[in-house]
Amino acid sequence: MANPQLTALYGPERRELILRAAVREGLLDPDDAQLAGFLDLDAVAATVDALHRAFPDSVEVLHAFAAKANSLVPVLERLRALGMGCEVASPGEFAQALAAGFEPGRIVFDSPAKTRRELARALELGVAVNIDNWQELARVDELLTARQAGQAERTRQAGQTRSRIGVRVNPQLGAGAIGAMSTATATSKFGIALADEGNTARLVAAFRERPWLGWLHCHVGSQGCPLDLMADGVAATVALARRINRELGRRQVVGLDIGGGLPVNFADDRVAPDHREYVERLRAHVPDLFSGEFRLVTEFGRSVLAKSGFTAAYVEYTKTSGGRAIAITFAGAQVATRTVFAPDSWPLRVTAHDGTGAAKHGEPVEQDVAGPACFAGDLVARARPLPLLEPGDLVALLDTGAYYTSTPFSYNSLLEPAVHGVTVASDGAVRFETLRRAQTVEDLLGRTGG
């Protein structure tokens, strides 16, 4: 099922309009700005609106954007203004969420390796915390006991923090098509494994002994995971929540963090599946999720931004080798890391444009689109049929609004490119704003001790 309203925002005509405007304004230049990322902020707003409308009014939901997908502070600020919360998984993402103005109560802290200092700060601020393992649970016990000692007026039953505290569980349902993106396998590093002997009973006891535990968290995986697998993980979490409440004789588990992970279609411009389709699968697998019994948190990232962005780079040289045409561009492993190192799992569409940004036409020729990094595998496309590329042309890597230019890989000390936000007025006028300025050589030297 595709969402036609969203798909209309991701078409080639709109991308070409943006690309031509970027060339005219010098945001792309063969001498001074050979590579840049672009994020269509109108498309982002439409996607966030569709996400909110996909979930029924019968349940209280906080949609917390997964900051790992795009942690640029201006992007996070825009998402906050659109009504989202923020899920963070590192001290850096935590700081970026605070800098973007998110209220602590709308931040969710996930990570399998939280330090005492990080946990203490989250509990002090009132940030939601999902506990990953038994040792972390003991660590939180210690921190809350210390807070209790320092604040005697608060009892253990009333809690010593404003934080919503939950436990991440692993329903051990198996993997999707990409093993590295599947977090509910039998041996996953994430969460407490429900099928391992004794763990479910131990979880019930843990909640009985800690009235401040009120949430459960489950995330089955992301790209490559089918919707039914994701929904089965939510169903297992609901079943556990009800067991805990039933055995405790009280409504202690009041909320469920159901993660994110909606796969993105990288094959064409269609938005399929969309968040509405995922909600339909949830209704089929666990209809009581929307009864209002539990508050919900989601953690969508890639599906919120990926299709709203593209990366543009100039072709510097072309050659043939063994009869294969090769275009050397400025977009490679530093901005398309997953595609370069795992091309079968993360293929990207590439479009060809002339130096003005206009689409190139002509008989398709199989050619490699290579990046600038100094190793042989730095290819964003292999034997891809495209109009024959020439020096001074542009290539666009599509669906890169999440995880690509916003999360650069500093191989060869290649400089981080600028990332520009884009809006298009009703009269077709294109306006840009800087989301991240291009890194300079001076910046690089400062970061590397020069």
Q: What are the residue ranges spanned by the domains of the chain?
A: 4-40+306-447, 42-304
Cα gap 87→79, rounded to integer Å: 12
CB 383 within 8 A of CB 324: yes
Average pLDDT (371-376) is 97
pLDDT score, position 160: 62
How many other β-carbons are positioned within 10 Å of the β-carbon of residue 30?
16
Confidence check: pLDDT of 153 > 50: no
Local confidence band at 9 (pLDDT 50, 70, 90 cut-offs): confident
> Looking at this protein, which amino acid is placed at residue 348?
L
- What tens digit of pLDDT does each residue of 117-128 get? 999 999 999 999
What's the whole-model pTM score?
0.94
Quote the pLDDT of residue 174. Answer: 87
Residue 159 has pLDDT above 70, yes or no: no
Q: Taking the domain 4-40+306-447, which CATH number applies? A: 2.40.37.10
Mean pLDDT of 16-39: 98
* pLDDT at residue 186, as a whole number: 87
| Percent over 70 (pLDDT), the chain | 96
Judge whether residue 388 has pLDDT over 50.
yes
Bridge partner residues of 365 (DSSP): 386
Q: What average pLDDT does range 400-415 have in this prediction?
A: 96
**In the predicted structure, residue 322 carries a pLDDT above the cut 50:** yes
pLDDT of residue 313: 98
Q: What is the average per-residue pLDDT within 352-356?
A: 98
Cα 210 from Cα 396, distance rounded (Å): 53
Give residue 161's pLDDT band: very low, low, confident or very high (50, 70, 90).
confident
Mean pLDDT over 189-218 rounds to 96
Has residue 97 got a pLDDT over 50? yes
Q: For a pLDDT cut of 90, what percent of the chain falls above it?
A: 89
For residues 337-364, give the mean pLDDT.
97
**Crossing angle of helices 275-285 and 41-54, rounded to 10°:** 20
Class of the 42-304 domain?
Answer: alpha beta
> What pLDDT is attached to residue 421?
98
Rounded distance, CA 236 to CA 240, Å? Answer: 6
Residue 367 near residue 324 (C-beta atoms within 8 A): yes
Q: Tokens 């000692």 label which residue?
A: 149
Residues 393, 314 contacting (CB under 8 angstroms): yes
Residue range 358-377: average pLDDT? 97
Per-residue confidence at 7, pLDDT binned at 50, 70, 90?
confident
Digit-coded pLDDT (tens) for 288-317: 899 999 999 999 999 999 999 999 999 999
Which pLDDT does position 26 carry in this prediction?
98
Q: What is the mean pLDDT of residues 207-224?
A: 95
Mean pLDDT computed over every residue of the chain: 94
Residue 199 burial (CB count, 10 A): 17
Q: What is the pLDDT of residue 349?
A: 98
Q: Which of 133-147, 176-190, 269-283, 364-378 has the lowest mean pLDDT?
A: 176-190
Average of per-residue pLDDT across 70-80: 98
Q: Is the pLDDT of residue 158 over 50?
A: no
**Is-same-fold flag (4-40+306-447; 42-304)?**
no
Measured N-to-C along each axis, helices 275-285 and 227-248 cross at an angle, to the nearest 10 degrees, of: 50
- Looking at residue 184, what is its pLDDT? 86
C-alpha span between 217 and 231 (Å, rounded): 13
* Residue 150 pLDDT greater than 80, yes or no: no
Residue 51 pLDDT level (bands cut at 50, 70, 90): very high
Residue 156 has pLDDT above 50, yes or no: no
